[in-house]
């Protein structure tokens, strides 16, 4: 039997690889923003960063004073934030965004100190414990809580203070842990939420740049900040940019309860824990997917939320929709089909070309 060798690390998609290696905890998304800026300027009429930290690229429609659509994908990732620095130099951390310790496991981390990134190890403590150890019961049962977690730094408290490590310092998975892994027709990596949708939006912008003559609306591609924590970037953009329609481009969980499957066919999210999306927008997205050669999957994702559902629930924008890339292991070591990113981009481009 012929030996089967694993595919070397890398998704086969240069842009996606760059996005996955870029670190982007909420409120500190500069590395991801820089990658996106370098791509958007190739396709957009104007690119800028607003006061909230959102990166915005505008493609003008063929009709002057026509309608506008805001397309949102978020820059940030689930991460950790320092709660306190212990006397021995260990860092106690809390979740930044919807993260649980099991999402990361015991792994290398980068501590994003003021003077530059410092190495550390996310630790649950030794597995060889009894009930005498405070974290013993949780760790042994697998129900690890953030109170069981610390970051080993091998620096003392004073050294960490001099390096600028303090409560509020972000801690992220190390670049050593961010390399994507190709599994036949799929890509696996941490932070495909929301880097795969970001890549789809950038691909869509390139498609639209070549179809400007068909575009009946202005399109604002908004790469938002702080989605995982508060949706504050999206709230600001929805309030300050024109247009009555906001779309979130997201990952979509693959689970039997939602009847979603890991295919190239995009997911049309009809509602989540914050709002039910505009029915007409969902139907238009579905038709765009069919016109692009796919069979979109409708789903009601009750344990989910997006920038678009947040702005709809707040009353800032009257119409919203959510287009998702089918994704295994959301908020964990995620997996999408390589062609699923392009399927999302093409469906979105068709929706925008049809918009009136």
Q: Phi first, then psi: what are they for 26, rounded to 5°?
A: -55, 130
Q: What is the pLDDT of residues 278-304, one digit of tens each?
A: 999 999 999 999 999 999 999 999 999
Q: Which pLDDT band, with edges at 50, 70 and 90, does 138 fall under?
A: low
Q: What is the pLDDT of residues 216-254, one digit of tens each?
A: 899 999 999 999 999 999 999 999 999 999 999 999 999
Whether residues 149 and 282 fall in one domain? no
What pLDDT score does 5 carry? 43
Sheet containing strand 186-189, edge to edge, reads 181-183, 186-189, 334-337
With b for 16 or more beta-carbon neighbours within 10 A and e for fewer, the 254-283 pattern comes to beeebebeebbbbbbbbbbebbebbeebbe
What pLDDT score does 8 carry? 54
Whether residues 170 and 203 fall in one domain? no
Whether residues 53 and 84 fall in one domain? no
Q: How far is CA 307 from the centre of its chain?
A: 11
Q: Phi first, then psi: what are they for 296, rounded to 5°?
A: -55, 150
pTM of the model: 0.94
Record the tokens describing residue 84, joined without a space: 């306190």
**Which residue range is the domain that position 208 belongs to?**
14-77+191-354
**Structural domain contains residue 1:** no
Report the number of distinct structural domains present in the chain: 2
Q: What is the rounded distance in angstroms from the CA atom of residue 64 to the CA atom of residue 118?
A: 51
Whether residues 55 and 102 fall in one domain? no
Q: Which pLDDT band, with edges at 50, 70 and 90, does 11 fall under?
A: low
Could you tell me the CATH number of the domain that includes residue 247?
3.40.630.10
**Structural domain contains residue 132:** yes
Whether residues 33 and 46 fall in one domain? yes
Burial zone of 188 (CB within 10 Å; 0-12 exposed, 13-18 middle, 19+ buried): middle
């Amino acid at each position: 039997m012929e030996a089967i060798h694993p595919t070397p690390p890398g998704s086969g998609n240069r842009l996606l690889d760059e996005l996955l290696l870029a670190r982007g905890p909420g409120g500190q998304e500069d590395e991801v923003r820089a990658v996106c800026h370098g791509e958007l300027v190739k396709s957009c009429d104007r690119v800028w960063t607003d006061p909230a930290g959102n990166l915005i690229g505008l493609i003008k429609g063929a009709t002057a004073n026509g309608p506008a659509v805001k397309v949102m994908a978020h820059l940030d990732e689930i991460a950790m934030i320092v709660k306190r620095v212990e006397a021995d130099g260990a860092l106690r951390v809390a979740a930044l965004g919807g993260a649980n310790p099991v999402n990361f496991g015991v792994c290398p981390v980068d501590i994003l100190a003021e003077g530059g990134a410092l190495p550390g190890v996310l630790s649950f403590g030794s597995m060889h414990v009894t009930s005498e150890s405070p974290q013993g019961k949780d760790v042994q049962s697998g129900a690890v809580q953030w109170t069981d977690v610390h970051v080993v730094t091998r620096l003392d408290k004073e050294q960490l203070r001099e390096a600028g490590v303090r409560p509020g310092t972000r801690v992220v998975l190390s670049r050593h842990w961010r390399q994507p892994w190709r599994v036949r027709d799929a890509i696996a990596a941490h932070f495909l939420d929301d880097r795969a949708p970001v890549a789809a939006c950038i691909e869509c912008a390139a498609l639209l740049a070549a179809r400007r003559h068909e575009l009946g609306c202005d399109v604002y591609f908004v790469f938002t900040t702080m989605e995982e924590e508060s949706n504050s970037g999206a709230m600001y953009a929805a309030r300050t940019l024109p247009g009555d329609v906001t779309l979130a481009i997201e990952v979509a969980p693959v689970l039997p309860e939602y009847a979603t499957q890991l295919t190239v066919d995009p997911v049309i999210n009809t509602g989540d824990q914050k709002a039910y999306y505009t029915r007409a927008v969902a139907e238009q997205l579905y038709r765009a997917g069919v016109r692009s050669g796919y069979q979109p999957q409708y789903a009601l994702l009750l344990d989910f939320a997006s920038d678009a559902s947040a702005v709809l629930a707040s009353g800032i924008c009257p119409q919203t929709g959510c287009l998702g890339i089918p994704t295994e292991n959301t908020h964990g070591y995620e997996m999408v089909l390589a062609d699923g990113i392009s399927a999302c981009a093409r469906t979105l481009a068709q929706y925008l070309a049809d918009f009136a």
